[in-house]
Amino acid sequence: MTAAPLRVGNFSGFYGDRSSALREMLTGGEVDVLTGDYLAELTMLILGRDRLKDPGAGYARTFARQLEDTLGLAHEHGVRIVTNAGGLNPAGLADKVRELAERLGIPVRVAHVEGDDLTAAYPGTLAAHAYLGGFGIAECLRAGADVVITGRVTDAALVTGPAAAHFGWGPGDHDQLAGAVVAGHLLECGTQVTGGNYAFFQDGDVRRPGFPLAEIHADGSSTVTKHPGTGGFVDTGTVTAQLLYETGGARYAGPDVTARLDTVRLRQDGPDRVRIEGVRGEAPPPTLKVGLNRLGGFRNEVAFVLTGLDIEAKAELVRDQMDAALAKAAPDEVRWELARTDRADADTEETASALLRLVVRDADPEVVGRGLSGAAIELALASYPGFHVLAPPGKGSPYGVFDHVAVPHGAVDHVAVLHDGRRIKVAAPQDTLPLAEVPEPELPQPLPVARTRRAPLGHVAGARSGDKGGDANVGVWARSADAWRWLAHELTVERFRELLPEARDLPVTRHALPHLRALNFVVTGVLGAGVAAQHRFDPQAKALGEWLRSRHLDIPEDLL
């Protein structure tokens, strides 16, 4: 334990991220710990299907490949690596890394964390895993591990664990842990905090953003930055966007601590440096979240291309023609969606075309199989003029369903398996606090408005959106104090529903975060049974915020 700052970098935000990032982070500048986040709700389902085919699988294979030419570099530079690439089989990946180190002749101490796997307790699931905290990681690092492999821990735990080990924090150091949770949340999605997927991406060169790092201090405060000379940029806007990503209310709950997002203060601290201060923490909830992934059934899809004139009539014709086949097959769910991507008097065929999507779901793969999609192809010479589809029909494909439950901390055996084989049980937190909503904070005085002009919301506000199971969040923030005075009173739940009609009949909750000049909206149920179920056109709600920014409303001219 020490008072010196801890430099923690990220080299992966998802399973499939830039393969060269680990080498780039090791060679681009000073860093103490590198973290790799590979797990998402969809990834757990993918790994669960891998494990069905091969009981020895279930981890992110790409991580081992990344280590092939970087393990020696990490050893030379004294950089420790912490990753959740272990997925459903952290012990298996730890063995794989040991075999690699032995083959390369590199003396590396490898530890892993286990206890999150509760699949046996939930029959019918492919993967049921509790979200563990960072203290198992901390035990491994304190015992001297160079590489720590975990399964399903919270994304932020990859940072709270190293910080707790470095500074000697204990379970009661809520403010410090909360600060590290915020830093971990900012790093977890890699380049999303250095300009990637950013509403105002034209503010800098984001063709190849550098991966981020955080300089964490003993009091839990931190500075988010990136290696010198790398692409992208870090400012209070990119940090605000990532801070709002996939969050809900002011209380951001985790297994180690509940971080109060309404206490976060951001300050530009030089080029590509943002200081994060003031974070307060509370005792964690008395329960752990358990993610449940199961096969939901089988789906099939046909996309009819409708070109030129009479788009609505063409859509009606093909729907009428498909009615008999759909009635005969009788799938559990039938969804038609007409996407009017066409333009009048278009100068290319593609921009003159709309898409009519037919999606069917059923527990029986035969019901949604070739017979149904074949019925669509039988119309090729007998339907609307210009008939064609985007792809030939195929068999029904399996889709997944995500759900979650809560279990007491004591229901999980959180164990750190050290590099020498010793097993250390990680105690559940003694101090817990049930979650409660934070009262609506005091908002600024409304902005006096003389004249308005009809314009897109995105001219004065940024947004970022994402998924949490079947729910989506849309975080919206203002770029100036006056824009915040207007936004805080204009963008009510009612106005949000007007701008996004898809949310009109769904529960929508608004959370205000004045220190960030931000509003966070949670739309319950908009994603159905989660991303793997592919319930909607944008199944992870990644572009929901950009749709909101494109909507027009009356904006004060002074802001424009």
| Other beta carbons less than 10 A from residue 245's beta carbon | 21
Same domain, yes or no, for 527 and 552? yes
Of 401, 433, 464, at which residue does a domain stop? 401
Residue 76 exposure: Cα atoms within 13 Å on the Cβ side: 9
Q: Degrees (nearest 5) of the Cα angle 263, 257, 153? A: 120
Those residues of the chain that have pLDDT short of 70 are: 1-2, 531-533
Neighbours of 277 (CB within 10 A): 17
Distance set, CA 231 to CA 33, 237, 369, 464 (Å): 21, 16, 46, 21
Q: What's the CA gap between 155 and 131, in Å, rounded? A: 9
Assess if residue 441 is contained within a domain. no
Whether residue 536 lies inside any domain: the answer is yes
Relative to beta strand 274-277, strand 6-12 is unpaired
Same structural domain, 108 and 175: yes
67 and 99 together in one domain: yes
Q: Residues 284, 343: one domain?
A: no
For residue 82, give every residue at least 6 positions away whose Cβ sits within 8 Å of its Cβ, in sequence order, or none: 33, 34, 35, 36, 137, 141, 147, 148, 150, 158, 161, 162
- Eight-class DSSP state of 146: S
Query: Does residue 474 share a domain with residue 541?
Result: yes
For residue 531, the model assigns a pLDDT of 67
- The tokens for 176 are 């410090």
Predicted confidence at residue 396, as pLDDT, reads: 87
Closest CA to 220 of 187, 257, 179: 179
Query: Is residue 431, in this structure, part of any structural domain at all?
Result: no
State the pairing for strand pair 110-114/147-149.
parallel
Check whether residue 377 and residue 239 sit in a common domain. no
Structural domain contains residue 206: yes
Residue 475 lies in a domain: yes
161 shares its domain with 266: yes
State which residues form the domain around 371. Answer: 301-401
Conformation bin of residue 229: beta by default, left when phi > 0, alpha when psi is -120 to 50: left
Are 419 and 546 found together in one domain?
no
The pLDDT of residue 468 is 86
Angle between helices 311-329 and 370-377 (to 10 degrees): 150
Domain assignment present for residue 437? The answer is: no
DSSP, res 191: G
How much is the pTM? 0.93
Residue 464 makes CB contacts below 8 A (sequence gap 6+) with: 197, 198, 199, 241, 242, 244, 245, 474, 475, 545
Overall number of domains in the chain: 3
* In-domain check, residue 459: yes
* Residue 270: CB atoms within 10 Å: 10
- Asked if 186 and 214 touch (Cβ cutoff 8 Å), the reply is yes
Give kind and range of the element (H or E) at residue 489: helix 481-490
Selection from 100, 92, 135, 82 nearest residue 117 by Cα = 92
Q: Which residues pair with 334 in a beta bridge?
A: 360
Which run of H or of E encompasses 251? strand 251-253
Same domain, 48 and 193: yes
Q: Say how far apart CA 482 and CA 67 lie, in whole Å.
A: 49
Spatial CB neighbours of 511, under 8 Å, sequence gap ≥ 6: 248, 249, 250, 438, 519, 520, 521, 522
Same domain flag for 420 and 322: no
Helix locations, 69-173, DSSP H? 71-77, 90-104, 135-142, 157-167
Q: Please check whether residue 242 lies inside any domain of the structure.
A: yes
Instruction: Dig out the tokens for 54 from the structure.
Output: 């091969």
| Pair 124, 184 in one domain | yes
Phi and psi at 258, nearest 5°, equal -105, 115
109 burial via Cβ count (<10 Å: 0-12, 13-18, 19+): middle
Q: Which three-class secondary structure state does DSSP give residue 365?
A: coil
CA angle 489, 494, 496 (to 5 degrees): 80
User: Using CA of residue 27, residue 29, residue 33, residue 34, what is the dihedral sign?
Assistant: negative
What size, in residues, is the chain?
A: 560
Structure tokens given for 174: 């809520």
Task: Identify the CATH number of the domain in which residue 323 sits.
Answer: 3.30.70
190 secondary structure, DSSP code: G
**Residues 391 and 456 reside in one and the same domain:** no
Residue 522, classed as helix, strand or coil, is: strand
Per-residue tokens: 406: 């809560």
